[in-house]
Amino acid sequence: MSQRLTFVLLFSFLSWHCANQPTNSPTKHSSTTKVGTRHYIWQNAEQIDPYYGGQRLINAQIWYPIEGQTDTCQSAAYMSNISNIWPSLENWQKEDYEAISSIKVMSCLDYPISKAKATYPILVFSPSLGGHSSYYTFFAERLALQGFIVLGLNHLYESEYVVDAQGEVYPHRTTFHDSIENLQIPDQITADQFRALKSERIKVIGEDFIYSLNQLEELNRTDFDNRLDLSRIGSWGHSIGGAAATYASLMDQRIKSVLNMDGTPPSIALAQGINVPYLFLEDLTDYKNHKGYKKQFDRRSAFCSKGQADAYRVLIDGIQHNSFLDINYYLARNANERAEEEKQLEVFLQYMVSFFQHTLLEQPISLRPVATDSLEVLLF
């Protein structure tokens, strides 16, 4: 955990943004704005983990719109029950726990869903390898303010931790990923074979998406007043989570669009493309002069070209792979630092809102091709 808190996200707010701002930008919220959140523990008795064995375990958090007075709001924590969990986590120190515990979010626990609309579209999210859906709370809460239901998933062994119904903590395990990361390319394995092996694990995470969508059908009746729009579902993820969100869309036609934060699509998708609208948010690398970056750039563009629906790549200069985490925003040392972190997160958020409003709510999108030193937008 300590190294996560000290990520140095070297970026500056992009001067081009106002000129290329997508339509349907998020509205600002006041300090009293609230959203609702609920936590769930799901165990899939029908899916046995193919590598580690045992039933798949998923921890889920749902963020959603609420309305009316929130005087009775029970404020949610940034990470639920972390006081009981952190001693079981590798690399966590007491100061990490204290820092995380100090974070204030806008969510109310178990508050009734808003009746302002008959139904709300759903976004299912998966974090990066070893990450946790809490590190994307900034996006989840603001997407809920825009009228989306956000289902954040934490996966057994791939996420930083999950907890079962008895309170036992299952930390992130690296055994599978280490077993293939240690293989030498091309002496022991080709790059294509490496991606294929990685994709086997990505499929497992994708299957967690499908199981979780099935759970929503029951929760819609019991906890959400039948206001979840199960016909309007998008998937979204960061890094391996973006790859899993892609894989899930190939396995389940309920998913109508995919947003990928800098994750390499799984092999099956690279080979055949996908059938729903797609958005990449990624860092703008020096792919014109760097051989490795060039291969990645061409691979992702080829994937987008194979799709049966519109695809977009938004490449932003000055960000890094972990720039999508919100932890530096919440733990900023001063107001100026916090403002700069917020500006960058807002850039991502505006693209996210515009894309999902376009693909799930049939609203227009203003993305157009751009090629500058600070931003490239590619349309397919």
- pLDDT computed for residue 108 by the predictor: 96
Do 113 and 36 touch, CB atoms closer than 8 A?
Answer: yes
- pLDDT computed for residue 4 by the predictor: 34
- pLDDT computed for residue 187 by the predictor: 84
Answer whether residue 78 shows pLDDT above 80: yes
Q: What pTM, to 2 d.p., does this model score?
A: 0.91
With 0-12 CB in 10 A as exposed, 13-18 as middle and 19+ as buried, what is 283? middle
- Beta strands 370-371 and 375-379: pairing type? antiparallel
As a CATH number, domain 2-379 is: 3.40.50.1820
What is the residue extent of each domain of the chain? 2-379
Answer whether residue 91 shows pLDDT above 50: yes
Answer whether residue 17 shows pLDDT above 80: no
pLDDT tier at 185 (50, 70, 90 boundaries)? confident
> How confident is the model over 340-356, as pLDDT tens digits?
999 999 999 999 999 99
- The answer to which of 30-39, 170-179, 203-212, 224-233 has the lowest mean pLDDT is 30-39
Segment 293-303 mean pLDDT? 97
Segment 21-50 mean pLDDT? 77
Mean of all residue pLDDT scores within the chain: 91
Residue 294 identity (one-letter amino acid) = K
Answer whether residue 75 shows pLDDT above 50: yes
Answer whether residue 6 shows pLDDT above 90: no
* Ordered DSSP codes for 93-123: -HHHHHHHHT-EEEEEETPPPP-SSS-EEEE
Q: By 3-state DSSP, what share of the chain in percent is helix, strand and coil, each rounded to 5?
A: 40, 25, 40
Answer whether residue 107 shows pLDDT above 70: yes
Q: What is the rounded CA–CA span in Å between residue 104 and residue 32? A: 12
- pLDDT computed for residue 32 by the predictor: 60
Q: How far apart are the first and last CA of the chain?
A: 39
Answer whether residue 188 shows pLDDT above 70: yes
